[in-house]
Structure 1
């Protein structure tokens, strides 16, 4: 799995404490060599034994925590450093022989467990086998070193338990990385949605404002009263756009077909485009009414902004809405360009609707059509 862009933090303090506990709980195996060191008649042997055991315990816990932290962040444990740390643990165990005698073999339990946690599976298996074989072999070769069968069992048990702990740490890291990726994608999706909505809202409103401002400028010396009316419309549209932006930010803004048709009539008139709009609309479900409203808004925005059309026709049916003009036609015949059409397609996709952008049958102008599958009598749908 690819590491995430940023570090993944442990879930909480409780889990961090659990990690220390998992590392320290096995230290009870050191009670045997520790007791042996305490009963050494010579002070230097006692100090060497106790010192080496304390250093070994601290090193083991720190190594375990370091490796666990890397696994939680989905970072690999460098093999070279892992081998060095295993060698350090083994060296500390061997250093205690003057004070612990044959009981130093207990440290092999920790060496095997650390190997399982740090090394690749094949190398870890070799270390575990050697650690389990060392006690009976050395008991035969070194006089005075008694072989305890429980030690071999402890090596195998600790290795098996550490295998489970290592997989748990790895899965925990992967889970946290997945959660972080989900949060990142959710933020990205919300940003796309906000950008799409703001484009759809302000693109239409500001286009109409620009057209009306241009018209008011031309009318001002000729018909001040009409110019004042257009300026009042500009103020109204600006306030509505501000309210729409606030509504979008507050996630409570809605669009309906009737309001968009009324706005389309005003925008087309200001642009000097002859409008042919339906006098009434059929009753529609709320989600379809909103989708058709967005389609009218996007289509009229394109007519006013890009088309150079003289006439615009809007048709509304129970399962479709159509915006048609006699202008220059779509710059992109497939209708793949533009944030507005992309946003409209996203909305249409939620209702399994299709968005068509093409030239009308007569070969002139622009056609935007949104079609929703009609309901079958049995509750299904068909195109």
Structure 2
């Protein structure tokens, strides 16, 4: 058991680490993530520093202006508050002016400024209609300038394609990460809202359920206290009323809580696998056949819960098999284990008269037109077999829903946590 708990803890830590990594992937790039693209101009800067360009002071002025405008454009374009203003577009316009001035003045020596300019344009215009036109225009301009300054057709084509892809890919990646982040935030907000609404509904239902009952119990208790010294018979009558009201309130609370905990057969099978794994019992779960109606699935879900609870608490088994086989007319659920059988070493009775859970299940399945059989499975182990018609009859006076079936099972004693 300790090893299972350790494995579960490690799995939880791994899941938490995976969720943290996924959250990092969903986070949009930071404002400094695109600054390293300025290293594309390192060759031109080196030529400028080594004196292979005319008018070095003018070249340095243009390089510093380009780098400063590019950094300012990144800061403004990645700031969601400023993105809708005119500032990012003005900065991109100034950056384009410096790019064209450097390439015209230095005969295309600064041609790699165009892909960097396109990247900044993709950041500023992402998700907007002018993006495609602006990037195509920059791509054409880069190819034209490259061809006119003697770089050749192949070089012009390469620089034009690189300029196009630089802007479009950057814009696509940013939009994707921002959309994923927005969807995640929306999902978390919807989950919080759903929890708050469910909590409010639950508290309101409990208030409506217990408000009158508790008031009546308080009044009756005060009457008992007043009448006990002088009229024992009347006090006993009020005490009996308190007992009846308390029993009724307990039944109503069970029904209310059960309606919140009602789940499908699939959910119960998943829970059974988790419980068996945590208990160190090998789980072999198989399911086949068509989908089941809600009432039938709810009844079988309670059989799975009761059967697996008994396996964990009383069997001492190393393996448990759950097999669900359905046809258009009937469904069969079988739970077997290789444990100690009906008579357990700890005094529990998995199949005898003391098993209130199995007794209640037998009654409920019989009312639905089915059956529940249990007993030894060969020389070792225990076998629980439930059979139900897919369209079984509804109990008179009960709604034909899975929630109704679950509430009735609790009232019959199934929800007491096992047969023992």
User: TM-score, normalising length from structure 1?
Assistant: 0.48
User: TM-score, normalising length from structure 2?
Assistant: 0.45
